[in-house]
Amino acid sequence: MKNIAELLNIKYPVIQGGMANIATHVLAAAVSNAGGLGLIAAGGNDVLTVREEIRKCKQLTDKPFGVNIMLMSPHAKDLAQMVIEEDVQVVTTGAGNPGQYIKNWKDNGIIVIPVVSSVALAKRVERAGADAVVTEGTEAGGHIGELTTMALVPQVTDAVSIPVIAAGGIADKRQVLAAFALGAKGVQVGTVLLASEECPIHENYKNKVLKASDSATIVTGRGTGAPVRVLKNKMAREYVKMSDKGATLEELEVLTLGSLRRAVFDGDLDRGSFMAGQVAGLVNEMRTIKQIFEDLFLDINNYKNNLEIL
């Protein structure tokens, strides 16, 4: 089976997480130029905005890059068509089942890699024609599923015959190796890229990641059906307290509306939503993305030979 670097024609078997409002063309191009697969996160943006991002990304890199479509977005259907018109090479999806779009994407030569958090969805997207899946454990930042990476990755690798890319809880070489040991053919990283020179977010966000400890994250929205892992702050604590007291979705939304933008653009430490994974505690230095990838994959082939016996 192809490893993900061969499938995508990139140097390292690593793809970037589709981080809404964070993964602009600037981050995507930087990741691709450093030898990974960069992704523009469509997030909640409309077609016009994302189209412009794609065109700008092409100016900054001649390497492959992709677009992440967040399926809960009201623009998802229009974005699904637009990526075909713009000749996007790779599409990843999150927060839903992309089944209805896969045939059209495949007919137009796009490499399709849905992000899933269960065996059932992995099997469904494989049947629909997906080229690979990202299995994202609950250690990840942002919107999350139930299972841990440790439990999810081997169950999905047993259940499908397309390559599996592990995500959630991966920030250093030990975790890359563990992912390969579990049967993954590549990794997706998000949190570790937040503390990079190139990541276009407010300095306060980067510093919050750098200062985070192992217990710095908390999950909001468990009761709403859309749990989201963020770094603890005033807003996150208030959210959890209100939701424990039985606050309505509307009351909670007042708190979170626009909160990711407040974190990313304004660095609003009290009222921002600083999405990050449990590995934030492992991320302690600012590096370039090139350095991060070199560190993630240093001597990896020597170790991988030992994994062949598994």
Find the shortest distance in angstroms from Cβ 261 to ligand TUI: 11
Find the shortest distance in angstroms from Cβ 43 to ligand TUI: 6
Q: Among candidates 176, 157, 183, which has minimal Cα distance to 301?
A: 176
Q: Which is nearer to ligand TUI, 39 or 177 (CB)?
A: 39
Member of 1, 48, 226, 249 binding ligand TUI (CB under 6 A)? 226
Rule CB under 6 A: is residue 112 a binding residue for ligand TUI? no
Rule CB under 6 A: is residue 96 a binding residue for ligand TUI? yes
In the shown chain, the binding pattern of residues 48 to 87 toward ligand TUI, with x for contact by CB under 6 A and - for none, equals ----------------------x-x---------------
- Main-chain dihedrals φ then ψ at residue 37, nearest 5 degrees: -100, 110
Q: Among candidates 202, 147, 187, which has minimal Cα distance to 292?
A: 187
Member of 30, 228, 236, 280 binding ligand TUI (CB under 6 A)? 228
Member of 8, 79, 102, 121 binding ligand TUI (CB under 6 A)? 121
Q: Site residues for ligand TUI, window 146-205 (CB under 6 A)?
A: none
Member of 36, 137, 142, 163 binding ligand TUI (CB under 6 A)? 142
Q: Which is nearer to ligand TUI, 97 or 207 (CB)?
A: 97
Q: Which is nearer to ligand TUI, 57 or 165 (CB)?
A: 165
Q: Which ranges of 148-275 would DSSP assign to H, the alpha helix?
A: 149-159, 173-181, 191-194, 203-211, 234-244, 249-256, 259-261
* CA distance linking residue 277 with residue 142, whole number of Å: 7
Rule CB under 6 A: is residue 115 a binding residue for ligand TUI? yes
Element (H, E) at 100: helix 99-107
Count the site residues for ligand TUI by CB under 6 A.
Answer: 18
Rule CB under 6 A: is residue 216 a binding residue for ligand TUI? no
Q: Which position's Cβ is nearest ligand TUI?
A: 142
Which among 92-100, 101-109, 172-180, 298-306 is the span making contact with ligand TUI, rule CB under 6 A? 92-100
Q: What angle do CA 54, 95, 273 make, to 5 degrees?
A: 80
Q: Which is nearer to ligand TUI, 96 or 200 (CB)?
A: 96
Q: Which is nearer to ligand TUI, 54 or 121 (CB)?
A: 121
Member of 26, 28, 83, 95 binding ligand TUI (CB under 6 A)? 95
Q: Among candidates 182, 20, 5, which has minimal Cα distance to 93?
A: 20
* CA distance linking residue 187 with residue 189, whole number of Å: 7
- Main-chain dihedrals φ then ψ at residue 165, nearest 5 degrees: -110, 120
- Main-chain dihedrals φ then ψ at residue 33, nearest 5 degrees: -65, -25
- The number of CA neighbours under 13 Å toward the Cβ of 192 is 29
Q: What is the DSSP letter of 224?
A: G
Find the shortest distance in angstroms from Cβ 57 to ligand TUI: 20
Torsion of CA 254, 255, 258, 259, to 10 degrees: 180
Q: Site residues for ligand TUI, window 7-36 (CB under 6 A)?
A: 20
What pairing do the DSSP bridges indicate for beta strands 111-116 and 65-70?
unpaired
Find the shortest distance in angstroms from Cβ 59 to ligand TUI: 27
* CA distance linking residue 163 with residue 166, whole number of Å: 10
Find the shortest distance in angstroms from Cβ 142 to ligand TUI: 2
**What is the CA 119 to chain-centroid distance, rounded?**
18
Can you tell me whether residue 59 is helix, strand or coil?
helix
Q: Which residues bind ligand TUI (CB under 6 A)?
A: 20, 70, 72, 94-97, 115-117, 121, 136, 142-145, 226, 228
